[in-house]
Amino acid sequence: MSKEEQTTDPKEGIQRGKDELMEDPLVHEGGKDPFFSMEDEPKEKGGKTTGVKPLFLISTDSFSNCGLDMVFELSKTAGFDGIDLAIRKNFDARNVDYVKKLSATHDIPVKVIQVSDNVNQKELNKALDLCEATGADTITINAPSYFNLKAYNFIVDNITTYKKDNKHIHFAIINPEDSNVFALPIPKYHFTNIVDIVKKYGCYIGFDVANFDAETLENEVMKKLPNLLPYIAVLYFSDKNRLGEWHILPGEWTLKLGAFLKKVKQNWFMRYFSSKININKSELADSEKLADLLSKAREYYKTHFEKLETDE
């Protein structure tokens, strides 16, 4: 463990996190993106993007042992705007020609390539091959566990070179379970501090809403959301309940998703939402149940975001 990662006093770590947020660490000199522009579309005064809207994707991370052809077909039928392709869950997802063919056959684009929490050079290079073949512009990386130093060191040692060599790609790290805006001692995963993902590691955020507890999301993240949004490449969208189950269909559960979506829309987020939900074996085995589940996820987003009218 490096000295930078060690925190001897939990209170000291929490206070440091609060101080960093108060300084608006995500607003860099001149208000400019320190990596490269996330959107190329023309802007109106006030930073509003004209003529575009966020895209709502389906993450294939939800479909373990499910045929990729069916996933593309059902996603298109349910009205999703594109695919967030998790190459760790499906062997076919690593077949560049096959993925490209599915995208063309079902007329649904691949926008994001998601790699595992045990990422290495071979997997990340395969993700780049898929980006080149499909036109995907974003790679999201699942955070390694705290004791998976091999994957963590690979990311830390190589991410800068990958960014320099692939400036058209948004490299984002997905905040893991029990994420926070503070630096806490001995976390379960690396990259739990979302400020550090941007400030320390120079990456975008794959912002997984369900990996925050309700109190942190409402009391800490929501306050800083306007500053965070320019650095969120993908917003993974799902809910959690009081039983400890997360990545479930959004609804009347523990996360105040209505208020969250309203603030996201008020601040003109123009990147990707990705529906990431746990699907059980019986649902995976029944195409009608699966289609119904996807339709409900798409309808929630349509009702609570697309049709939402804001004051700004």
Burial of 65 (0-12, 13-18, 19+ CB in 10 A): exposed
- Rounded CA-CA distance 84/254 in Å is 25
Q: Does pLDDT of 52 surpass 90?
A: no
The total domain count for the chain is 1
Q: CB–CB of 268/54 below 8 Å?
A: no
Q: For the ranges 122-126, 137-141, 241-245, 258-262, which has the lowest average pLDDT?
A: 241-245
Average pLDDT over residues 147-168: 96
pLDDT, tens digit (0-9, with 9 covering 90-100), for 135-148: 999 999 999 999 99
Q: CB–CB of 64/93 below 8 Å?
A: no
Average pLDDT over residues 232-261: 87
- Rounded CA-CA distance 244/50 in Å is 40
Domain that holds residue 256: 54-239+247-306
- As a residue count, the chain comes to 312
**Taking the CB of residue 91, how many other CB atoms lie within 10 A of it?**
9
Q: Does pLDDT of 5 surpass 60?
A: no
Closest C-alpha to 154, from 188, 187, 116: 116
Is residue 9 situated within a structural domain?
Answer: no
Average pLDDT over residues 103-111: 97
Q: What is the token pair recorded at 154?
A: 């690979």
Distances in Å between the Cα of 36 and the Cα atoms of 40, 164, 203, 269 are 10, 11, 11, 16
Cβ-Cβ contacts under 8 Å for 130 (sequence gap 6 or more)? 85, 87, 94, 96, 99, 110, 113, 136
Residue 168: phi and psi, rounded to 5, are -85, -5
279 vs 26 pLDDT, higher one? 279
- Rounded CA-CA distance 195/129 in Å is 29
Task: Please tell me what DSSP assigns to residue 237.
Answer: E
Cβ-Cβ contacts under 8 Å for 301 (sequence gap 6 or more)? 56, 237, 273, 275
Is residue 1 situated within a structural domain?
Answer: no
Q: What is the token pair recorded at 85?
A: 């392709």
The three-class DSSP label of residue 160 is: helix
Is residue 15 situated within a structural domain?
Answer: no
pLDDT for the residue numbered 284: 85
Q: Does pLDDT of 164 surpass 60?
A: yes
Is residue 3 situated within a structural domain?
Answer: no
Is residue 280 situated within a structural domain?
Answer: yes
- Band the pLDDT of 42: cuts 50, 70, 90: very low
pLDDT for the residue numbered 10: 33
What is the overall mean pLDDT for the chain? 82
- Amino acid letter, 223: K
pLDDT for the residue numbered 269: 93
pLDDT for the residue numbered 53: 85
Q: Does pLDDT of 277 surpass 50?
A: yes
Q: Does pLDDT of 101 surpass 90?
A: yes
- Band the pLDDT of 98: cuts 50, 70, 90: very high
Average pLDDT over residues 220-230: 91
pLDDT for the residue numbered 279: 86
Is residue 80 situated within a structural domain?
Answer: yes
Distances in Å between the Cα of 251 and the Cα atoms of 150, 221, 239, 255, 309 are 38, 20, 7, 9, 19
pLDDT, tens digit (0-9, with 9 covering 90-100), for 300-312: 999 989 988 876 5
- Band the pLDDT of 186: cuts 50, 70, 90: low
pLDDT for the residue numbered 185: 57
pLDDT for the residue numbered 275: 93
Closest C-alpha to 172, from 211, 138, 125: 138
Supply the CATH number for residue 101's domain: 3.20.20.150
- Rounded CA-CA distance 51/41 in Å is 8
- Distance, CA of 268 to chain centre: 17
Is residue 213 situated within a structural domain?
Answer: yes
- Band the pLDDT of 179: cuts 50, 70, 90: low
Q: Does pLDDT of 244 surpass 80?
A: no
Is residue 24 situated within a structural domain?
Answer: no
